[in-house]
Structure 1
Amino acid sequence: MRMKCFAVAVLLGLLSLGRSAPLSSCESLLKPIQVTTDQVLGRWLYLGSSSNVPGSRSVAHLMTSVWLDGTAVPQSNILTFIQNQKIYGQCSSLTYNVTFENSAMIIEQPFYLKDIFLVTDCPDCLVVNEEVISGKDTFNSLLLFSRSRSVSPPVLEMFKRQAECLKMPSPIMLDPNSAEGICLLLQMVGKWMYIAETTGYPLSELLGEALIRSIWMNVMAGSQNNTLNIYQAQNM
């Protein structure tokens, strides 16, 4: 009888340890990490998310691609993001500014939004824990971004575990092999350096070899669908 009681006590102790392990794991998975401006700039592909924003899951099922391109405003803590998405076969884009401070991105108007970054085993990924306050309502989202269109199964499993720790629905992930792909027009957005060309234009070789030192273009998505704004600079 004494041995049986001892065995039950050991079993209860192990069960107790088992229950406390997820809490400890969640604490480490949800602990905010420090990031620099350089780590969040550039192009990021949206891979998936979990959210309690009303209607977000319906929209997520209609999305085939989303990507961001972030640049810094000189001599300030303001970052500018161009966001491009393809929803139900239609491409669209928007541009917005965020304040970057203390490893967080903040928007204060027309609603309050704060993004903090969580741990990930992917060196080219960002896991974003987002809070949105609109009036008296507060909503939360967990988002995964990467420099590439897919991540390893362990990284994805860790992201799903983070959603569980936040008591959020299972993330909806984009299909990395979707035939839809990202909007071809919007793939041109970004800074491009002129390398070389061939043309039948008179005196083109003379101009190219003797006068042109450098040319670059900055391509930005226009406010209208299917339009681009192109800024070209050259040193001659």
Structure 2
Amino acid sequence: MYFAIVALLCLFRVGCSASLTSSSCEDLLKPIEISSTEILGKWLYIGSSSDLPGSRSIGHLLTSLWLDVTPTTQENTLNLMQTQRVYGDCSSYNFSMTFENSTMLIEEPFYMKEVYLRSDCPDCLAIHEEVISGKDTFTSVMLFSKRKSVSPAVVEMFQKQVECFKMPPPIMIDTNYEICPEPTSPMQGLDGLNSLLVPYLSEAKMAHLGLRLLDRLFDMFVN
């Protein structure tokens, strides 16, 4: 749900050998160049941080999430299928995104831009996502991998990137989880996804206040 924005979703590549202690925020937050070929395949969710109202509540209830990115016949267009388990129930969404110049983009029915960050993990994908709705801009930082778990050093680098963005501490997935199966029922596209995101992207300040309060309660009493 949130992760469909969370979808919202997406991917990346890897690789640098420099130690974390010698890495500045400028180095850690600089987008990397990545090709559409490197993004293809199945990616398992590791953790994320977001200032989207309600995102932390969903993050605490999320028990698994995976993405499958495949090519299409259209130039600069990739197909993305997102499947997540929230509070025991699996759901899936299928939609297309524009990929060009190492950037994933959706412009309608909401604006979302994703770029990819460095990682010392050869099969990981660190993502910086920006969502704009009306006058509001929301930021998410996400980590995916080809594996269910990554090393403590990779997690440490990701946590440092989140800190450099001045974001809330990331919520990391419990790796002892069961992955949702390949979906067999029809999946909604961006219009369906947008309908789910309406409460989170609402410009109503009271709605945002209520969701942020819920986020604080989950942070206090969950985990």
Give TM-score, length-normalised by structure 1: 0.68
Residue of structure 1 in register with 2:186 after alignment: 222
In structure 2, the residue matched to 1:182 is 179
User: Match of 2:96?
Assistant: 97
When residues 54 and 75 of structure 1 are mapped into structure 2, their CA distance, relative to the original with a 3 A threshold, is: closer
**Cα distance, 1:96 vs structure 2:** 1.0
The Cα offsets for residues 22-75 of structure 1, whole Å up to 9 and x where unpaired, read as 997100000100000111011001111000000100000000100010111124
Higher strand share: 1
- Pair 1:154-2:153 in alignment: yes
Partners of 1:134 and 1:147 in 2: how far apart?
Answer: 31
**SS of alignment partner, residue 63 of structure 2:** strand
1:78 corresponding residue in structure 2: 77
Greater relative contact order, per chain length (Cα 8 Å cut-off, separation 6+):
2
Give the RMSD, CA atoms, in angstroms.
Answer: 1.9
**Is 1:46 paired with 2:10?**
no
- Residue 213 of structure 1 corresponds to none
The Cα of 1:90 is off from its aligned counterpart by 0.4
Indicate the residue corresponding to 1:134 in structure 2: 133
Q: 2: distance between equivalents of 1:175 and 1:145?
A: 13
How has the CA–CA distance of structure 1 residues 148 and 24 changed in structure 2, closer, same or farther, with 3 Å as cutoff?
closer
Q: Give the superposition deviation at 1:221.
A: 5.5
Query: Does the 8 Å CA contact 1:150/1:176 hold for their aligned counterparts?
Result: yes
Q: Secondary structure, in 3 states, of the residue corresponding to 1:44?
A: strand
Q: How many residues align?
A: 169
Could you say which structure has the larger radius of gyration?
Answer: 1
Q: C-alpha separation between the residues in 2 aligned to 1:43 and 1:125? A: 11
Flag structure 2 segments of 5+ consecutive residues without an equivalent.
Answer: 1-20, 189-223
Deviations 1:121-178 (A, max 9, x none): 0010000000000011000000000000000000000000000000001100110113
Question: How far apart, in 2, do the equivalents of 1:221 and 1:81 lie?
Answer: 16
C-alpha displacement of 1:182: 1.2
Residue equivalent to 2:57: 58
Residue identity opposite 1:222 in structure 2: P
CA distance, structure 2, for counterparts of residue 162 and residue 221 of structure 1: 37
Matches of 1:138 and 1:110, distance apart in 2 = 15
Residue identity in the other structure for 1:69: D
Q: Given residue 182 of structure 1, which amino acid in structure 2 is its aligned partner?
A: I
Partner Cα distance (2:24, 2:125) in 1:
19
Give the Cα–Cα distance (whole angstroms) in 2 for the partners of residues 68 and 37 of structure 1: 15
Alignment deviations for residues 88-108 of structure 1 (CA, whole Å, 9 cap, x no partner): 000100011110011000000
Query: Structure 1 unaligned runs (5+)?
Result: 1-21, 190-219, 225-236
The whole-number CA distance in structure 2 between the counterparts of 1:41 and 1:104 is: 14
Asked whether 1:68 is paired with 2:32, we answer no
**One-letter identity of the residue aligned with 1:65:** S
- Residues 169-200 of structure 1: per-residue CA shift (max 9 Å, x gap): 1100110113xx112x32xx6xxxxxxxxxxx
